[in-house]
Amino acid sequence: MSHYELAPEIKIKQFEGVWSDYRTIANKLIKVVKDETKSRTILAIECYPGVRNEEFEKHLIPLLAPKKIIFADDIAMDGTEITEMVKRTLTDDRVFGVMSHYELDEFFPKEKVKAVQEEIATTEGLIVIYGTGATVIAEPDILVYADLARWEIQCRYRSGEIGNWKMENYEEDALRKYKRGFFFEWRTADRHKKKYFDKIDFLLDTNVGNEPKMVSGTDFRQALRQVASAPFRVVPYFDASVWGGQWMKERFNLDPEAENYGWAFDGVPEENSLYLRFGDVKIEVPSINVVFQHPNELLGPKVHSRFGTEFPIRFDYLDTVGGGNLSLQVHPSVEYIQDKFGRQYTQDESYYILDAQEDSTVYLGVKEGTTKEELMADLEKAAKGNYRFQDEKYINVFPVKKHDHILIPAGTIHCSGPNTVVLEISASQYIFTFKLWDWDRVGLDGLPRPVHLEHGRENLQMNRDTKWVKENLINQFEILKDENGVKTERTGLHELEFIETQRHWFEDKVTLETHDSVNMLNLVEGTEVVVESVDDSFEPFEVHYGETFIVPECVKKYTIRNTSTDSNQKVAVIQAFVRNL
């Protein structure tokens, strides 16, 4: 039986107080307002896009009995105006936009803001401003920040519960809503959030409907400081796919009634969240908040200086056991992603084969003699329908087995075949995958899955052929150390990629260094290990098979001890970090 932890929590050691349910939260805020002893007090509830404002209107604000209520969203431009303003960011594409650099206040007409501020200046008593942009309207005396996990936003998009900010596009294609969030709304909201992090008086968790939880800003910031000082896990989430899979259901104790789980995100801090345990109350916050607040401690100064407040490494699972192939795809070059989409770096990646069956395969690189013209002509013919792309005529298919490591630098055509469990280790670019062929499938939403042949054409590296792939991308293992019961191998990634991966086999324990970078690791063999401090700076941290965990750069050195049920069982962890180029 797997001990994979589906809801890992971080126990916060020191905090002053935590409040749950709207009445308790309102009573706390009322007390704070009274302590202000001012004739006019402005309480702002700044909301991440996607937060349920109607809950505040119904359950919180009436309890506060304010003299004046202002909904910030009413002061902002309407959705049509915003769409026109950001149309170059959104583009006409269903999936891809251009990374925006807008500030939130750009969407609030100055004359409307000024008029509201004049009203505020003539009002005595408590004034409550709530919604996205509440802090644009006025500088608050008390700031409550209502935060929301990225995955929860996506679920609300899919269900049709919400549209995008200032839009009534509830029934619009979820991919288009996600695109608007990813390229525009979340960038703008994160930029604004970072400005106010140190001014937050209370952090409000709004992830579960009508079950709010609140903690003081001081305790929230202290909690993030604690997270950035020791090993931790983010909260994984699992999603169905058109290609599979059944393996994770059994191994990770997922819902056996679900049709499949093709995806698992267990190491994507921009997408995942954290469970922070304050006594009896669990607070959920986006894990990217730790990166925003403590980039030097978490990422390391060198990685921070290179990537800013982005977490550059991503671990996720692709499960095709009992399913089909992934889409045939390619990732953009750095130059292309910078020019077309405004990103700093590209989605270089690799497939670590966590489990495999006799027929497990990967598609990787083009066959000798293939030309881009004939390959693209066949892909374009297939995209028009009524024709099956002749995949094995053009693309290499290699058998794979458990613990193989397949390197996939940008520009290499690739995909996983059926009956394979892939631990995907890649740079964190999230959605920059150009699908070229998808085996005539439609998505789970019933719509044809989008392909991007023109983007693909510009990025396919035709020199990644059979010979080159065999010599450069398949199991490029180099033994770095094999002594005292520890075998350490460099397994990748390719020299064109900025991530290095090392695999450590051991029976008792291994001591690792962070290499001036945040570390992301996964227990790929064995049932259980414990991560221990070499200087008692953090408590022992338990990890189970298949769990991804993060070690902040500030830890510098740490030990992993084998605590598997069979003490003679050799275990293995794979460690990823940013190369110090």
Listed range (125-139, 277-291, 370-384, 425-439) with the worst mean pLDDT: 425-439
Q: What's the DSSP call for residue 198?
A: G
Residue-level pLDDT at 441: 82
Residue-level pLDDT at 567: 61
Structure tokens that stand for 256 in this block: 């056996």
Considering only residues 510 and 450, tell me which one the structure prediction assigns the higher pLDDT: 510
Q: Position of tokens 């297939």?
A: 382
Q: What's the DSSP call for residue 382?
A: H
Geometric angle at alpha carbon 79, from 74 and 85, rounded to 5°: 115
* DSSP per-residue string spanning 531-553: EEESSSSS--EEEETT-EEEE-G
| CA 337 to the chain's CA centroid | 19
Confidence grade of residue 307 (pLDDT, cut at 50, 70, 90): very high
Q: Give the tens place of pLDDT for each residue, 94-109.
A: 999 999 999 999 999 9
Hey, do 9-227 and 478-578 end up sharing a CATH topology, with the first three levels equal?
Answer: no
Nearest to 121 by CA among 70, 73, 74, 71: 70
Residue-level pLDDT at 36: 86
Does residue 420 register a pLDDT over 80?
yes
Q: What integer is the mean pLDDT of 377-396?
A: 92
Domain at 9-227, CATH from 1.10.10, 3.30.70, 3.40.50, 1.10.287: 3.40.50
Q: What integer is the mean pLDDT of 126-152?
A: 97
Residue-level pLDDT at 2: 65
Tallying the residues shown for the chain, one arrives at 581
Geometric angle at alpha carbon 402, from 366 and 575, rounded to 5°: 90
Neighbours of 519 (CB within 10 A): 24
Neighbours of 8 (CB within 10 A): 18
Q: Give the tens place of pLDDT for each residue, 311-345.
A: 999 999 999 999 999 999 999 999 999 999 999 89
pLDDT above 90 as % of the chain: 93
CA distances from 355 to 211, 251, 321, 469 (A): 39, 11, 9, 22
Does residue 384 register a pLDDT over 90?
no
Task: Report the chain's terminal Cα–Cα distance, integer Å.
Answer: 42
Residue-level pLDDT at 566: 72
Does residue 54 register a pLDDT over 90?
yes
Does residue 388 register a pLDDT over 80?
yes
Does residue 150 register a pLDDT over 60?
yes
H-type alpha helices, 91-199: 110-121, 134-137, 150-159, 174-180, 186-196
Task: Find the helix or strand (DSSP H, E) in which 28 lies.
Answer: helix 22-36
User: For all residues of the chain together, what is the average pLDDT?
Assistant: 95
Does residue 350 register a pLDDT over 80?
yes
Torsions phi, psi for 118 (to 5 deg): -65, -35
Which residues touch 377 (CB under 8 Å, ≥6 apart)? none
Distance, in Å, from the CA atom of 122 to the CA atom of 429, rounded to the nearest integer, reads 48
Does residue 440 register a pLDDT over 90?
no
Q: What's the DSSP call for residue 568?
A: T
Torsions phi, psi for 48 (to 5 deg): -70, 140
Domain at 237-276+290-472, CATH from 1.20.210.10, 2.60.120.10, 3.90.1150.140, 2.160.20.10: 2.60.120.10
Does residue 448 register a pLDDT over 90?
no
Q: What integer is the mean pLDDT of 248-254?
A: 94
Does residue 1 register a pLDDT over 60?
no
Residue-level pLDDT at 445: 72
Distance, in Å, from the CA atom of 250 to the CA atom of 248, rounded to the nearest integer, reads 5
Does residue 460 register a pLDDT over 70?
yes
pLDDT above 70 as % of the chain: 98
* 478-578 is a CATH 3.20.20.10 domain: no
Q: Position of tokens 């932890």?
A: 5
Residue-level pLDDT at 293: 97
Listed range (3-17, 396-410, 437-451, 520-534) with the worst mean pLDDT: 437-451
In the chain, where the domains are located? 9-227, 237-276+290-472, 478-578
